[in-house]
Structure 1
Amino acid sequence: MEEVSACSLNSTLFQQEHQKGTTYRIPALLYIPPSHTFLAFAEKRSSSKDVDALHLVLRRGVMKGHSVEWGPLQPLMEATLPGHRTMNPCPVWEQSTSRVFLFFICVPDRVTEHWQIRSGKNAARLCFLCSQDAGCSWGEVKDLTEEVIGSEVKHWATFAVGPGHGIQLQSGRLIIPTYAYYFSRRFLCFPCSVKPHSLMIYSDDLGVTWHHGKLIGPQVTGECQVAEVTGTSGNLVLYCNARTPNRFRAESFSTDYGDCFQKPTLNTQLCEPRYGCQGSTVSFQPLKMPYSQDPIGKAAPTTQKSPLLDSFLEREEGVGRPSGTWLLYSHPTSKKRRINLGIYYNRNPLEVTCWSRPWILHCGPCGYSDLAVVEEQGLFACLFECGQEHECEQIAFRLFSVQEVLSCEDCTGPSRD
């Protein structure tokens, strides 16, 4: 077994064989507290191209003190449909039953996303597996496409879940972040104005039945992740951070557990490289710090209310003070290309302009990532695409501490230009 220590260098979990051969992409990471277990998922592909995806793979890691011992790579052949490739792993842990739900999509071999968008004919299937033993074994695959999407699929050119982890809200609702390429009408058999929009798939009965919420709009939003945050008076809000083609990330809030989100806004503190990139976000309970100062003792920055939540924040006591929940976010930091993976924190998630400077987790080419919180240890974990020459060379794992993230205000890092 491989062992990874807290605050160590990156540990490679999935390694590309060669640039035009077997490649591992699209990481998803889940931490299961009772068994102190990490589940690290990825797509195995015959090349780096989306159309060459094959099936999902898994490595299980167990926390031993401040280290992780990783088991061997396992192919997840249970997560397949005949004649289809499996893509976009999105795991979520249900606490009361201790079950892991692994969502993914299955797409017919050689059918591209471009063809689906151009024709307006969805070919993706919404599927999941369930494990009751922290990923040691898995049940049979279940296809939820008709149950969850139903007749609305005629307006979805295609869709995908995640990629990356889902979450369980304090209410018990399970959330699977999703995005769909939506169109309202056709002209001469072709779909008109196909645009991606984020939305949530959810379950309120411990995963027995699943439904989908409303599309986030009107702005274009794509791959997304969500986190539940609380204000200083304990009000719960679902925060969504989504990919866009508009040079900046989109943020949106829901006060009804993800069924409907308010109009998203672009956050100029969170840049997107050309063509965008997936990013990850998690919420966590902050360390106890004086409200009058930031974590390194400097004066707290001026904050500006989000116009989306003005009425909500007016009910909050002590607006401008750190909230009961902070956010962590991972994403390439360059405005031009996928390089220099950064970790940002936000101590006031319900207010804008509160993101920190990035702490650079990996210098060089990077891509998709997924975060997890090891709350009992005060640690975070990140599973991410990276390399020396290009971002598809490997998928690496890294444990790091909150102190490392907070240190970003004390140091300078690679340029974000």
Structure 2
Amino acid sequence: MAGIPLDFLLFALVLLGVAVFHHHTLRVAFLGMVTIAAYKILLGDFAGTPGVAGFVQMLHHEWVTLGNLLGLLLGFALLADHFERSHATDMLPRVLPDDWKGGFFLLVMIAVISSFLDNIAAAMIGGAMAHVLYKGRVHVGYLAAIVAASNAGGAGSVVGDTTTTMLWIAGVRPGQVFEAYVGAGVAILFFGIVAARQQQAFQPIMKDNPKNVRLDYGRLAVVAFMLLAAISTNVFLNLRNPELLNEFPLIGIAVWVALLLTVPFRAPTWSLLPGALRGSIFLLSLVMCAAMMPVKALPAASWPTALGLGFVSAVFDNIPLTALALRQGGYDWGFLAYAVGFGGSMIWFGSSAGVALCNMYPEGRSVGAWLRGGWHVAVGYVLGFVALLVLVGWNPEGHAGSKPSAPSVESPAPVQSLPSPKP
């Protein structure tokens, strides 16, 4: 239609439906995914393979990503509850300033946590802390800032985000990704201050610790054990056997093994799983929609392209975007890590961390409210990108001139190419 493949138009309708019918996001995303799959099975193809065989081939490439996302979203939902029930968050008023600066330092803490944890875990822990500190009244703009802080913290660390881990596996050195923190730091300084003031005006931060609060060290131990399982599995396999990460959802499995081992010690709140599962199915449906888009390549590598990918990642899964960029080459990998890692924060479903946090705070599922309240995230993204250009400079393939070997990254069906719709 008008030169645009019908696949893209269908996906655009799905995204529009999610934005408009934010009380029915799961139904819209799932039915949209089924519709796109049926269309491609009957009338299209999957990376050149038509029919059911092509669909099965795509699932074979995608199942590891989907499995990891499902395991992490469900596991970290229970982890965040363990953390909140440990009463560790009740101790925060003792160490945080009792004005807007307390909210700002909380966002910085979330970014630091995300630098060595998965951004989903950082966002969930941050959401649990905010729930206590602000007595359950958290502004949508501050929710956007929590997601942005978790994504910014992971953007410069090869173990902080799935996309940066992909770069590491492909041969990008950790130092080449680390420069993303220049942009992330500037972005956090801007949106963090604005969001903290916004939240303080909406609901002031708790000034005093609740009385007679006792830390549940057992639940804190469970949280630590689950996080250690995720981190150690990720780092060990990346160093020793990275190909296994493309064959099995081992990080998600590690989180659940750790969780189940601790059940006799501290039982999780199993009743949280149905709600977390609905949010997970929503995100997996969008990932599947993106995987079925028939794009052959990204635009030519340049800093404007990298800037644009940040906006695209607000509506597309950033994993296939990263894989396409690796296959194409010619990028400054620090810029790319910042763009695809942070850009998804601009809309709540543009990041797995955003979807996870909105399972805790359903009011964040309104795209209009997210954009109105979280405008500072988009502005912060642009300011951070400009800071990278001015202070670091665009240097394709990294500052040491080494080029990652793209073939080492298994390209899921979306890697056949991801569409680049307008943000």
- TM above 0.5, yes or no, is no
Bigger strand fraction: 1
Bigger helix fraction: 2
Structure with greater contact order relative to length (CA < 8 Å, sep ≥ 6): 2
User: What is the TM-score of this pair, normalised by structure 2?
Assistant: 0.24
